[in-house]
Amino acid sequence: MELIAKYRVETDLPIKKAAAAIAAEQSTGTWTEVRGADNPLAARVISAEGKEAVIGFPEEIFEPGNIPQYLSVVAGNLFGLGALKRVRLEDVIFPEGMVRAHRGPRFGIEDARKILGVFNRPLVGTIVKPKVGLDPAGTAAVAAAAVRGGLDLVKDDETLTDQKFCPLASRVEEVMSALERVEKETGKKAFYAVNVTTGADQILERAEKAVDHGANMVMVDVLTAGFSALEVLSRNVNVPVHVHRTMHGAFTRDRAHGISMLVISRLVRLAGGTNLHTGSYSGKMAGGREENDLSRDALREEWYGLKRVFPVASGGIYPAKVSANLDGYGIDCIVQAGGGVHGHPDGTTAGARAMVQAVEAWQKKIPLEVYAKDHKELETALKYWAA
């Protein structure tokens, strides 16, 4: 069996020669001929046409279960090859044995829905804003206001971890206490995804500490902490894991160089994320439609029995942007707004209601402007951001 990697290559070399150079560099070869480089573990060029090279790597070259080692093969030194002007890892097709070396998500889409008691609609979430600067009580107040407006998930931003102005343990206690009060008042359940991102030697201990203090979801910045950090959390912490993709633009933004969001999506599912920010169809961080579609499908299609993962649309989303994102992602997604909730002229609770109302309009197939006539929070949001 083989792992199949697909690359987009820009080079002055003939594409077949460039593909051969990638196959050699990433398996048994080097810059000059050496004895034994043609052994059975040498990668092979499956096809090379135009700007596309498809390389097959023998499964035996990989250490099962070791995602960092996988990346050292399929996304290693090839990016430094002088003969390649630009190269992008577009996709990786894993053989069954390598997929089954991972447990995937401990909590998938269906598990998260059961915890919330929310079925047959997209989930709606927010990010606490300001990103940093609030103390635990201030964070809790914002979270409670958002859930009171009907949101299903509140998360830390990627830069908030365990700083002195907002210690993690105190923050979790304050937020969860506030959300419990809201649930008693309204019956609304919600996740709070507390950011436990830190070094490899501390991340599990930090996540366990968060859960001990009441956290019902943890969050990790997967590209800064590493895929193995995610896998450790998924296997050992008994709550869902929200996965942020901060720093992804360094890999994904250039459509001719780097690593695609599709590859990151596959790795996050292998490693056990419950939710993953994959890009929006409309918003300040909108990605390409095709790549969004591919990432969405990689998270949700059948894959050797691994649980399904929620794609998260986020970044500059407000009520007018909801329908375009739900048209792309469908019902099994999370649509998430930060400023699009907290920036509402009437405050966070009204902003949350406006987002929920935008989702309701999409589900009922009623134009936003029509639905807004009977929903004042949505009407205000549409007028405010239209200006």
Q: Which residues are catalytic?
A: 129, 244
Rounded CA-CA distance 208/380 in Å is 42
| Contact residues for 195 (Cβ-Cβ < 8 A; gap 6+) | 155, 156, 157, 158, 160, 161, 218, 219, 220, 221, 244
Cβ burial, residue 359 (10 Å; 0-12/13-18/19+): buried
Rounded CA-CA distance 241/234 in Å is 7
Order of strands across the sheet that contains 52-58: 44-49, 52-58, 2-11, 84-93, 258-259
Strands 153-155 and 44-49: unpaired
Q: How far is CA 22 from CA 33, 34, 45, 71, in A?
A: 15, 16, 9, 14
Residue 365 structure tokens:
């197939």
Rounded CA-CA distance 69/114 in Å is 35
Core vs surface per residue 4-18: b (16+ CB within 10 A) or e: bbbbbbebeeebeeb
Rounded CA-CA distance 228/63 in Å is 14
Residue 121 structure tokens:
């609609």
